[in-house]
Amino acid sequence: MVRSPCNKICTMDFETGFCEGCFRTIEEIGNWSRYSDEEREDLFLKIRIRKEEIFFNKKHSK
């Protein structure tokens, strides 16, 4: 079973639409328990890409 990416930092960033702690959308958070392990693994890949894009954009927007 794939564990949740939740790290108890539950604040939504309304600019990006992602939780500031786990980088999931509200829909992804709500549907987590219904996802298969394959869907959860796919979401972890999306989360990794989101983090990289957000950090890259912040770094280059200064």
Q: Please give the model's pTM, rounded to 2 decimal places.
A: 0.87
pLDDT of residue 57 exceeding 90:
no
Please write the tens of the pLDDT for every residue from 2-32. 999 999 999 999 999 999 999 999 999 999 9
Residue type, 44: F
Cα distance between residue 6 and residue 22, in whole Å: 5
Q: Specify the long-range contacts of residues 41-50, CB closer than 8 Å, at least 24 apart.
A: 41/2, 43/5, 44/2, 44/5, 47/5, 47/22, 47/23, 50/16, 50/18, 50/23
Burial class from Cβ neighbours inside 10 Å (0-12, 13-18, 19+) for residue 18 reads buried
